[in-house]
Amino acid sequence: MSQHLKSNVIPPSRQREVPRTGLTWIGQSMKRVEDPRILSGKGGYIDDITVPGMAHAAMVSSPHAHARILSIDTSKAKALPGVIGVYTGEDMAQVVDPCPSFASPPITQHAMSVGKVRHVGEVVAAVVAEDRYIAEDAAELVEVEWEVLPANVDLEASAAATGDAVLHPDDRDGNVALDERFSFGEVDQHFAEAHIVVKRRLRWQRSSAQAIETCGVVAQFDPFKGGYTIHSNSNFYNFIPFVIGGSLRVSPGELRIIPVLTGGSFGSKVFNHKIIILTAGLARLAGVPVKYIEDRLEHFTNSDSHGSDRLYDAELAVAEDGTFTSLRFTVTDDYGAYLQFGVGTHGNAMAQVTGPYQIQSFGMRVIAVLTNKTQQGPYRGFGSEVTNWVMERMVDAAAEELGKDPVALREQNMIQPDQFPYMIPTGNIYDSGNFQKVLAEAKSMFDLDTWRDKAAKMRADGRCVGVGLATCMERSVYGPTEWWSLNNTETPGFTLTSTPEGITVRLDPSGKMLVTLNSPMVGNSPETVVAQILAERLTIAPEDIVFNYSDSQSGFNGVGPQGSRFTAMIAGACVSAAIKLEERLKRFGAHMLQRRPEDVELRGGMVAVRGLKDQEKSFGEIALTSSFFRLSFPDGEEFDSGLETTAVYDHPLSTDPAEDRSHLGIFYPIVGHICHIVAVEVDPGTGKVEILDYAAVHDNGTMVNPRTLAGQVWGGTANGIGTTLTEQFLYDADGQFTNPNFAEFAMPTANEMPRNFKLGHVETPSPFTEYGIKGGGEGGRLGAPSALTSAIEDALSDRGVKITSLPVTPPTLCGLIRDAEQAATA
Amino acid sequence: MTEVSIELTVNGRARQATVPPRMLLSDFIRHELSLPGTHVGCEHGVCGSCNVVVDGRAVRSCLMFAVQVDGAQITTVEGLAQGDDLHPIQQAFWEEHGLQCGFCTPGMLATAQELLAENPDPSDDEIREAIAGNLCRCTGYEFVISAIRSAAAKLREPESETVLQPV
């Protein structure tokens, strides 16, 4: 182990339920508990919420990328019948403070602009009216006088901008929000000793999740209690009342956030604080409950969830025999107009930046640039999808420069099965894995050798057919140090280290189990997962469990579904709750059976005497007696009425970053592995890429529900295909966002998906989580771009086309083919 | 704005309403008829989440005005299940894991009804083509295709009593 990692000691495992075979419910492709109500149209999404007296809001949005607001005239809008009120940023600032920010020092963001706008779509005024039609009519009547300022669109130009082109002159002198350098291990030495240094400039363009449901809020303010009641489709509703309360000037106890079924997130609805603050402020100003649902244009232009937009200058140090020794890069990231999570997306990437390879050191300079675009937020991968692609691009480049087979070069450098837990140069660990097994399975499923021969023959016949393979990491279960560990150590900001997940479990007197979750359903399967795990642990049937979701006042300690954390974290909470409930069940049951607690066990939903048949009490009977027949038990608080327990599970394995940032600690250690192999054909005339064959093998540890995991892999792969081939946000020189709609931002339809997708799983359990479960919500998007890019480059290898930027849309690819032809003839 | 009276049949029930001419069918169904199972994803006719069945055709309810459905027969997602018995297409979506967040699902179900009424035994490519006008960001479509294939097989069984609204 490198000297710089010596202080990063791996804590002992807190696993209680060891991975094992022969489980009853875990591992079954059970039908989802959540589905019947959703399928029948009774799910209850945010726009389905209605409260008495509710009015509707419409926004007046900036048409300019960067401009001062000289004046706003709301008089015509206010005069329209049905309008309750029209409010500007100045009005809003009377009742709410700026939005919370993880950037340090913070960058000020108002939910409604004050003084100036910094991107197209930023809200400058809002109308509250009796219905949305009237509100939108009135919004058209608001007149704003602007002083247009220079728009920053280009990364490098914005970094050098001065004067009126500076976005936040009160917070920063220029548009570079952060510029930090890191060196983990002997980077300089490894590069000095390298046989070759492979260099590439790589570009990853901006897109976003675009869940089919947009964000929305229904907010009420009670002036007499001084608090808010808010329905929101935020994933974070039990984690953010503290920070949102700060902006709304109330304590978390005066802020009741009620969750709803959420129509997809993929990161885009993790925080949602701005829309909550905006709508809550309007409800307070207007004195009526207010509903605001973003339309699609507003979701594109103002929802603060744009994905990474990065330029890499990357270098890989390689020894003569092909061994990778070090990786370093300078990355410049276009964060847009604000910096809500700091450079958390780069912190995230530090979890697995060196991929599945034994690379001894890693160095980075990260530069966060502000531009006049919508700010970044989370999107499936949270930055690691980009570094996976960079790593795999560098490996392909190294193979080419060394004249080696790219698959063999990967195998040569892979971490071996006996090296786990494996600490990478940044300090994060990979808990377990068998990358060789995943690769072998994928090769066999895809029939790689046959396909490579076939593709070579097709190329010889003039067709542009190629095969690409990627071996990538899928980190899961984050610790929140990723949000601040790359901040300057002088101003680290809010150095959060908690990401708990809680659960409440009650055995009701009928024998049914009522489970209350503290995190919403966003398209994942929280109820199904919990039903399977609690049924397993407590020997009951999943159909005997019913579900409820807390609100932020009745619940506590839920961080929700992000970073592929929920399944592993809620499994921990389930086990903790089950241990407590089992103890109480045995105490009450043993008393009813006139035995000692140590003489009984749980068996098929009963407390039963060990080794004896028919000496048993059902959970229902025990719950009934413990709830209503107090005098049947002895005095003492251990027999307090009822069978209910609450449990909280904290992150299973995390450590602090080193104070000097010589390492970043362990923060994302439950690590899966994926191998994607794809064959494509490119039409050189149109630049269209057709997927001919696709195989994906994922190792997400112990699978709770193989079918729902397959759904995650499929969906993530579809996102990755879109990221690679079609999805890109386009801006013109004035900062106009030119394709913010579903017609021009082309997401994959069923027609773009592979016809014969083959999916395999390897199960290498985690030694740190309950039952060995790892997260698996992001892998498709973490692997598909790398494999597809490689395949396209292989298909065009005879023409000398190199892919260094995503997406490769048909026009982009046509241009690359044409450029390569011209270069060849020149 | 002069309001217009319309009469129509929604999920087998006669409905009457007076609506402004500019009211979208999607808003009319969701807010005036209180049938929120029809979802609005883009309001520009691309995503298909708002699809409902109007006189046998799956249509974008965000691209129609309520006044255009005067006299029509409409089926929304709320009209499919009978009590707690899911419709065979809904049941197949459940069994095949054809949904995750479920937001696009009512539109998918509408498209599937139209497809299977016209073509009781579609090939996978025909299913794919039929749902290519419905965006889903969760599933990657594979299990949606499995679900429609499975529903078709169930509906073809001689003992199936479910009748789809003819196109």
The pLDDT tens digits of the residues spanning A676-696 come to: 999 999 999 999 999 999 999
Q: Is B35 on the interface with A (CB under 8 A)?
A: yes
Q: Is B50 on the interface with A (CB under 8 A)?
A: no
Residues A216/A275, Cβ–Cβ less than 8 Å = yes
Q: Name chain B contacts of A47, Cβ cutoff 8 Å.
A: 30, 36, 39-40
Whether B83 is covered by a domain: the verdict is no
CA distance B167 to chain A (A): 23
Q: Name chain B contacts of A750, Cβ cutoff 8 Å.
A: 127-129, 131-132, 134, 141, 144-145
pLDDT in the model for residue A384: 98
Whether residue B151 sits in one domain with residue B111: yes
CA distance A261 to chain B (A): 8
Q: What CA–CA distance (Å, rounded) separates A619 from A344?
A: 46
Q: Which of residues 343-402 of A touch B (CB under 8 A)?
A: none
Query: What does the buried/exposed string (b/e) look like for A336-362 if buried means 16 or more CB atoms within 10 Å of the residue's CB?
Result: bbbbbbbbbbbbbbbbbbbbbbbbbbb
pLDDT of B79 higher than 70: yes
Query: What's the CATH code of the domain at A805?
Result: 3.30.365.10
Q: Indicate the residue among A598, A618, A649 that finishes a domain.
A: A649
Q: Name chain A contacts of B124, Cβ cutoff 8 Å.
A: 755
Q: Which of residues 283-322 of A touch B (CB under 8 A)?
A: 295-296
Query: What does the buried/exposed string (b/e) look like for A66-102 if buried means 16 or more CB atoms within 10 Å of the residue's CB?
Result: bbebeebebeebeebeebbbbbbbebbbebbebbbbb
CB contact under 8 Å between A213 and B144, yes or no, is no
Q: Name the helix (H) or strand (E) containing A230.
A: strand A227-232
The pLDDT tens digits of the residues spanning B8-30 come to: 999 999 999 999 999 999 999 99
CB contact under 8 Å between A715 and B139, yes or no, is yes
CB contact under 8 Å between B94 and A36, yes or no, is yes
Whether residue B115 sits in one domain with residue B56: no
Q: Is B18 on the interface with A (CB under 8 A)?
A: no
Q: Indicate the residue among B31, B59, B78 that finishes a domain.
A: B78
Whether residue A695 sits in one domain with residue A582: no
Whether A446 is covered by a domain: the verdict is yes
pLDDT in the model for residue A826: 79
CB contact under 8 Å between A211 and B23, yes or no, is no
**DSSP string of A551-602, one letter each residue:** -TTT---B--S-TT-HHHHHHHHHHHHHHHHHHHHHHHHHHHTTS-GGGEEE
Whether residue A708 sits in one domain with residue A602: no
Q: What CA–CA distance (Å, rounded) separates A337 from A101?
A: 13
Whether residue A684 sits in one domain with residue A796: yes
CB contact under 8 Å between B101 and A523, yes or no, is yes
Q: Name chain A contacts of B103, Cβ cutoff 8 Å.
A: 45, 211-213, 263-264
CA distance B46 to chain A (A): 6
Q: Name the helix (H) or strand (E) containing A758.
A: strand A757-762
How many CA atoms does the CB half-sphere of A106 hold within 13 Å?
Answer: 10
Whether A776 is covered by a domain: the verdict is yes
Whether B167 is covered by a domain: the verdict is no
Q: Indicate the residue among B78, B98, B116 that finishes a domain.
A: B78
Which of these, A783, A708, A348, lies nearest to A521 by C-alpha position? A708
pLDDT in the model for residue A556: 82
Q: How many CB atoms within 10 Å of residue A604? A: 11
Q: Which of B35, B36, B49 sits opposite A212 (nearest CB)?
A: B49
pLDDT in the model for residue A457: 97
CB contact under 8 Å between A749 and B102, yes or no, is no
Q: Indicate the residue among A615, A649, A683 that finishes a domain.
A: A649
- What is the tally of structural domains in chain B? 2
Whether residue B42 sits in one domain with residue B24: yes
Contacts of B83 (CB under 8 A, 6+ apart): none
Whether residue A518 sits in one domain with residue A644: yes
pLDDT in the model for residue A366: 98
pLDDT of B1 higher than 70: no
Contacts of A818 (CB under 8 A, 6+ apart): none
Q: Is A726 on the interface with B (CB under 8 A)?
A: no
Q: Is B93 on the interface with A (CB under 8 A)?
A: yes
Residues B152/B40, Cβ–Cβ less than 8 Å = no
For residues A560, A562, A567 and A573, what is the CA-based torsion angle, rounded to 10 degrees? -40
CA distance A711 to chain B (A): 6
pLDDT in the model for residue A197: 98
Whether residue A451 sits in one domain with residue A512: no
pLDDT in the model for residue B30: 98
Q: Indicate the residue among A620, A649, A678 that finishes a domain.
A: A649
Whether residue B94 sits in one domain with residue B63: no
Query: What's the CATH code of the domain at B131?
Result: 1.10.150.120
- What six digits make up the tokens of B51? 């699809």
Whether B166 is covered by a domain: the verdict is no
Q: Indicate the residue among B78, B105, B140 that finishes a domain.
A: B78
Q: Which residue is closest to A711 within chain B, CA to CA? A: B139
ipTM of the complex: 0.97
Whether residue B150 sits in one domain with residue B101: yes
pLDDT of B166 higher than 80: no
Whether residue B92 sits in one domain with residue B72: no
The Cα-based distances of A639 to A275, A589, A630 in angstroms read: 46, 11, 8
Whether residue B94 sits in one domain with residue B112: yes
Burial grade of B82 (CB within 10 A; 0-12, 13-18, 19 or more): exposed
CA distance A43 to chain B (A): 8
Whether residue B104 sits in one domain with residue B42: no
Residues A730/A738, Cβ–Cβ less than 8 Å = yes
Q: Is A81 on the interface with B (CB under 8 A)?
A: no
Total-model pTM? 0.97
Whether residue B100 sits in one domain with residue B68: no
Q: What CA–CA distance (Å, rounded) separates A446 from A440?
A: 10
Range of the domain at B38: 4-78
Q: Which of residues 744-763 of A touch B (CB under 8 A)?
A: 747-751, 753, 755, 757
Range of the domain at A812: 431-478+668-826
Q: Which residue is closest to B22 within chain A, CA to CA? A: A133
CB contact under 8 Å between B90 and A39, yes or no, is yes
HEC string of chain B equals CCCEEEEEEECCEEEEEEECCCCEHHHHHHHHCCCCCCCCCCCCCCCCCCEEEECCEEEEHHHCEHHHHCCCEEECHHHCCECCECCHHHHHHHHCCCCCCCCCHHHHHHHHHHHHHHCCCCCHHHHHHHHCCCCCCCCCCHHHHHHHHHHHHHHHCCCCCCCCCCC
Helix, strand, or coil here: A419? helix
pLDDT in the model for residue A330: 98
CB contact under 8 Å between A295 and B86, yes or no, is no
Q: Which of A45, A210, A717 sits opposite B137 (nearest CB)?
A: A210
- What is the tally of structural domains in chain A? 2
Q: Which of residues 408-467 of A touch B (CB under 8 A)?
A: none
Query: What's the CATH code of the domain at B69?
Result: 3.10.20.30
DSSP state of A481: G
Whether residue B129 sits in one domain with residue B95: yes
CB contact under 8 Å between A36 and B84, yes or no, is yes
Helix, strand, or coil here: A725? helix
Q: Which of B44, B84, B97 sits opposite A711 (nearest CB)?
A: B97
Q: Which of A214, A719, A742 sits opposite B44 (nearest CB)?
A: A742
- Collect the ranges in chain A with pLDDT lower than 50: none
Q: Is-cis flag, bond preceding A63, omega within 30?
A: no
Which residue reads 């809620």 in tokens? A570
Q: Which of B36, B44, B99 sits opposite A39 (nearest CB)?
A: B99
Whether A448 is covered by a domain: the verdict is yes
Q: Is B120 on the interface with A (CB under 8 A)?
A: no
pLDDT in the model for residue A696: 98
